[in-house]
Structure 1
Amino acid sequence: MTVMRTIRDLDLPDGLIFSGAIYQRVLNHLGDRDLDYGIKDYDVGYFDASDISYEAEDVVIRRVAAAFEPPLRDLVEVRNQARVHVWFEGKFGEPYTPLTCSAEALTRFVSPMFAVGVRLEPDDTMTVAAPFGLEDLFARVLRPTPGRGTRNFPRIAASAKARWPEIEVRDA
């Protein structure tokens, strides 16, 4: 909640907290583990197409970091989803067409189980973005995202299965 409140108060455009910060906590809750088990970072996406330079993103990265005390300062990773297409293929070896919003990034995640984002609204309600639904997450089913390449899926699935042996890995 500290991360969610801080990100909300920073008013990042189209800000979402997603990936491990969400699905790993759900898996930990379902498996009666400490909620922080296995969480390496808190991924935060925002969408600002007005300037997709690294310099503009770095200003936001520094602003977000300054809003947190250690250890969260080193655990919150923020990225402008409007510029992911600029660096993604070079880093991951897969093409990545430009996005139109932060929630669209979820449709490109490796598995529907991972494709969940949340935003704490000004009135303390929570918006949940889950383009493939929540069924896989609550059933603890890890499968490739339909229509997405599966090149990295076996490695990612093995890592998740090592941390949460109760998940079911499916090829499709």
Structure 2
Amino acid sequence: MGKPKRPIPGEMMANVEAGYEQQLCDLVRSSGRLMAALQAARSLGLSSWCIGAGSIRSLVWDGLHGFQQPSDVDDVDVAYFDAQAPRGLDAELQERLHRILPNVPWEVTNQARVHEWFADTLGATVAPLSSLDDGLATWPEYATCVGIYLDACGALKIIAPYGLNDLFELRVRHNSRRASVSTFMHRVQSKRFKERWPRLSVCNP
């Protein structure tokens, strides 16, 4: 018998990513709180949506740190994409979610209208986003650019435009796609990443 064939680097990376995807799905299924939030969000009937950002990031980092109690999150971010939706739909959807799970700090955002928020709130001109995946790809840290949703059959699906390496390897790196360095550094300090999860590596931009 010949020697076993060594996997090439691309295959190794794919295997690692698949392992992280399985770990993420296992962690999500183990969280009754997050599964209930996902089921509530699915009931809205949106065609392109996910729960992402801090809810997913905190769940993974808590698990990797062996925490028995889940960390508090400022909000549960429901991101969706609908270029035809009226401006007031975010608030309407948020109210519907509050009626289903009133103790969850919901935050609903149509990624198709984020450029309007930049213009109205910051006076900044940015290009419209083209999809939900494109929206996630602009979030300030690569480890944060991850979303989960339930499909029509109840299966968990992952959106991760940059993969899951930073999230599972406990790296906090600046994503310069849209967030400035100052915004990134402010988030690192205000969210107390290193204090709350000591094993993190915060990479200077």
Could you tell which deviates more after superposition, 132-141 or 26-35? 26-35
Contact 2:137 2:177 survives alignment (8 Å): no
| Residue 197 (structure 2) aligned to one of 157, 160, 164 | 164
Contact 1:25 1:35 survives alignment (8 Å): no
Contact 2:138 2:175 survives alignment (8 Å): yes
2:52 maps to what in 1? Answer: 18
Q: Are 1:28 and 2:67 an aligned pair? A: no
| Distance (whole Å) between structure 2 residues aligned to residue 147 and residue 135 of structure 1 | 18
Question: What SS does structure 1 have at the residue aligned with 2:43?
Answer: helix
2:183 maps to what in 1? Answer: 152
| Distance (whole Å) between structure 1 residues aligned to residue 138 and residue 123 of structure 2 | 14
Check 1:32–1:123 CA distance in 2 against 1; reply closer, same or farther (3 A cut).
Answer: same
CA RMSD of aligned residues (A): 1.9
Which protein has the bigger helix share? 2
| Residue 60 (structure 1) aligned to one of 62, 76, 93 | 93
5+ long unaligned stretches in structure 2: 1-34
| Distance (whole Å) between structure 2 residues aligned to residue 13 and residue 130 of structure 1 | 18
Larger radius of gyration: 2
Question: What SS does structure 2 have at the residue aligned with 1:118?
Answer: strand
The Cα shift of 1:105 comes to 1.2
| Distance (whole Å) between structure 1 residues aligned to residue 200 and residue 183 of structure 2 | 18
The Cα shift of 1:11 comes to 1.5
Q: Are 1:109 and 2:139 an aligned pair? A: yes
Q: How many residues align?
A: 168
The Cα shift of 1:163 comes to 1.7
The Cα shift of 1:123 comes to 1.3
| Distance (whole Å) between structure 1 residues aligned to residue 157 and residue 50 of structure 2 | 9
Question: What SS does structure 2 have at the residue aligned with 1:127?
Answer: strand
The Cα shift of 1:101 comes to 1.7
Check 1:161–1:86 CA distance in 2 against 1; reply closer, same or farther (3 A cut).
Answer: same
Among the aligned pairs, what percent are the same residue? 30
| Distance (whole Å) between structure 2 residues aligned to residue 45 and residue 131 of structure 1 | 14
| Distance (whole Å) between structure 1 residues aligned to residue 110 and residue 161 of structure 2 | 19
TM-score by length of 2: 0.74
Report Cα offsets for 1:4-33 as digits up to 9, x if no partner: 111112212311100001011000000011
Question: What SS does structure 2 have at the residue aligned with 1:113?
Answer: helix
1:71 maps to what in 2? Answer: 103
TM-score by length of 1: 0.87
| Distance (whole Å) between structure 1 residues aligned to residue 115 and residue 107 of structure 2 | 17
Question: What SS does structure 1 have at the residue aligned with 2:38?
Answer: helix
Contact 1:52 1:80 survives alignment (8 Å): no
The Cα shift of 1:64 comes to 2.4
| Distance (whole Å) between structure 2 residues aligned to residue 94 and residue 7 of structure 1 | 30
1:141 maps to what in 2? Answer: 171
Contact 1:38 1:163 survives alignment (8 Å): no
Question: What SS does structure 2 have at the residue aligned with 1:11?
Answer: coil
